[in-house]
Structure 1
Amino acid sequence: MSETTGTTVLRTSVQVDGEPASYLTAGQDGPPVLLLHGTYWSRVWLPVLDQLAGAGLRPIAVDLPGLGRSGGQLTPEAATVPALADWVTRFASALNLSGPVAVAGHDIGGAIAQHLLAFDGLEVSRLALVNSVLYDSWPAPHVARFQDSDTTEGVLAARREAVTRVLAHVGTESLIADYVDPWTDERVRRSWLALAGAADNHYTLDVVPALQRSPAPKLLIWGEDDLHERVEYAERFASEIPHTTLIRIPNADHIPTENAPDRIGRALAGFFTA
């Protein structure tokens, strides 16, 4: 099953663990770039996909299992960073991606991307992080308050509130509704609860030594107005982790791809084609 969502962007799916893994892609035969979301979904990458494809890349923005448009349902055990990194490796295998793969991560997807770079499984050539969780910056309070919840009551309203806040500069009602739509599904809300419950910053703290040893180029792109994944964390990462460049995006919050898609698209394209 596939559908067109933009000028050259296509949503399609592949079977992983017996369930459809939905992803947005653009371009055809260029070097693949895996784009990972966190507490949102693949929609965060849509504004930059055409620009990446225009640079000769093949961007692939996947929805993690049970989230966005993907099938299945996350459990607490399947929602940990290592378990999701293993799932991404199986997703890449299902797409027959061979050789080194460039990876970008947003939010908790950045923790998954860091894990992929640091440990065996998927060979990562370049790593980009966009307002990613780093060190002990997470879980944010609006996610942590659901960690002990056994009901999805309040999840949809909380997600709408979070989306409205982080898209304050650009968030029309139609854009906010587009972002929030997956959580109208009870199955997705339950998967999101599992993701929130499994959020643990020891995964990004424990990976620091391996990141410091890694020779892979690393790019940080940061909306400066993020209240939780603060730019100070990015500054610390850039100072402590070799081969790291930081690009700051003023007047942008947690999803800066919506505030400055052209600038961020150019930066990612330049980084991944260098």
Structure 2
Amino acid sequence: MSETTGVLRTAVLVDGEMASYLTVKQDGPVVLLLHGTYWSRVWLPVLGRMAAAGLRPVAVDFPGMGRSGGELTRETATVPALADWTTRFAAALKISGPIAVAGHDIGGAVAQHLVAHDRLEVRRLALVNSVAYDSWPSPHVARLLDPAPTADDFLAARRQAVTTDLAGAATEQRIADYLDPWTDPRGRRSWLAMAGAADSRYTLDLVPLLRRSATPKLLIWGEDDRFEKVEYAEKFASEIPRTTLIRIPEARHIPTENAPDRIARTLAEFFRP
């Protein structure tokens, strides 16, 4: 696929486990890309295009998610804990100085935490169909927690979610790509830990800090998202200073798959120094 041109997967050791990430080997301003209840696959359609614009995208998998080693627990899967882990990942890659950060879904909460608490020197922040305010946890996620689902039930539920969230970009191959990490029990346990740790207080508590933040912010939103509704993005843009909202029509929770050219171009323009 054209979006994979020049993209490679590599890893670095963090906390004794291999942290896997997608990147393009080149010089340029680093853009750290964080996922949520999916994995780094959500960023794949835009990586090559961002690199072509002179950026160095780094899309990491959290522990136990995607292709990374380790395993999340409810304690290590909270937003503050994932923000701590992200700072250690950045240190392991020797990323220093001002960087750009983008987050999707719960990764967006982690990115907001990094900015609000000055955990990294973030020069620009982008959020793509991110959790915000009290928009989470989503009911369809909570339903998978109690009782714990069988492997077949889990995969069936995630298949339904992936198919819906991809909207018009859904193909059997793409759905299979997204589901693949969850065929591993460790991946399923890590996903359930992240879902179990979901708590809207982690984003609600950030609002006063973000209102005082001078960091430029960009929201990119699939307009037809069932749960991270565009109304949350509109509220964020109206209340948080230096925020711009870009709406993606006919896209749901993974708009990078529906409008990769437009989103990559928008991110590149926003993140270029």
Give the TM-score normalised by the residue count of structure 1: 0.96
Deviation, 1:245, is 0.2
- Provide the rounded CA distance (Å) in 2 between the counterparts of 1:220 and 1:67: 24
Give the 3-state SS of the residue equivalent to 1:65 in structure 2.
coil
The correspondence of residues 27-176 of structure 1 with structure 2, limited to 5 A, is: 27-150=25-148, 153=151, 154-176=153-175
Q: Where does residue 185 of structure 1 map in the other structure? A: 184
Give the 3-state SS of the residue equivalent to 1:220 in structure 2.
strand
Give the 3-state SS of the residue equivalent to 1:23 in structure 2.
strand
| Contact 2:108/2:128 (8 A) holds in 1 | yes
The answer to whether residue 263 in structure 2 is matched with residue 268 in structure 1 is no
Give the 3-state SS of the residue equivalent to 1:73 in structure 2.
coil
Deviation track 1:6-53 (CA, whole Å, cap 9, x = no partner) reads 210010000000000000001411110000000000000000001110
- Provide the rounded CA distance (Å) in 1 between the counterparts of 2:266 and 2:160: 29
Give the 3-state SS of the residue equivalent to 1:76 in structure 2.
coil
- Provide the rounded CA distance (Å) in 2 between the counterparts of 1:84 and 1:146: 21
- Provide the rounded CA distance (Å) in 2 between the counterparts of 1:34 and 1:149: 35
Deviation, 1:152, is 5.0
The correspondence of residues 202-221 of structure 1 with structure 2, limited to 5 A, is: 202-221=201-220
Give the 3-state SS of the residue equivalent to 2:221 in structure 1.
strand
| Contact 1:149/1:193 (8 A) holds in 2 | no
Alignment RMSD: 1.2
What amino acid is aligned across from residue 15 of structure 2 in structure 1? Answer: D
Deviation, 1:162, is 0.3
- Provide the rounded CA distance (Å) in 2 between the counterparts of 1:144 and 1:151: 11
**Structure 2 residues without counterparts, runs of 5 or longer:** none
Deviation track 1:206-260 (CA, whole Å, cap 9, x = no partner) reads 0001101010000000000001000000000000000000000000010000000
- Provide the rounded CA distance (Å) in 1 between the counterparts of 2:146 and 2:93: 36
Deviation, 1:151, is 5.1
What amino acid is aligned across from residue 194 of structure 2 in structure 1? Answer: L
- Provide the rounded CA distance (Å) in 1 between the counterparts of 2:51 and 2:91: 21
Deviation, 1:158, is 1.2
The correspondence of residues 15-26 of structure 1 with structure 2, limited to 5 A, is: 15-26=13-24
What amino acid is aligned across from residue 107 of structure 1 in structure 2? Answer: D
- Provide the rounded CA distance (Å) in 1 between the counterparts of 2:237 and 2:110: 18
What amino acid is aligned across from residue 20 of structure 2 in structure 1? Answer: S
- Provide the rounded CA distance (Å) in 2 between the counterparts of 1:232 and 1:61: 27
- Provide the rounded CA distance (Å) in 2 between the counterparts of 1:134 and 1:152: 30
- Provide the rounded CA distance (Å) in 2 between the counterparts of 1:68 and 1:156: 15
What amino acid is aligned across from residue 142 of structure 2 in structure 1? Answer: A
Q: Once superposed, which parts of structure 1, at least 4 consecutive aligned residues long, lie more than 3 Å away?
A: 147-153
| Contact 2:4/2:47 (8 A) holds in 1 | no
Deviation track 1:161-214 (CA, whole Å, cap 9, x = no partner) reads 100111131111011101111100000000011001000000000000110101
Give the TM-score normalised by the residue count of structure 2: 0.96
| Contact 1:36/1:105 (8 A) holds in 2 | yes
- Provide the rounded CA distance (Å) in 1 between the counterparts of 2:25 and 2:213: 29
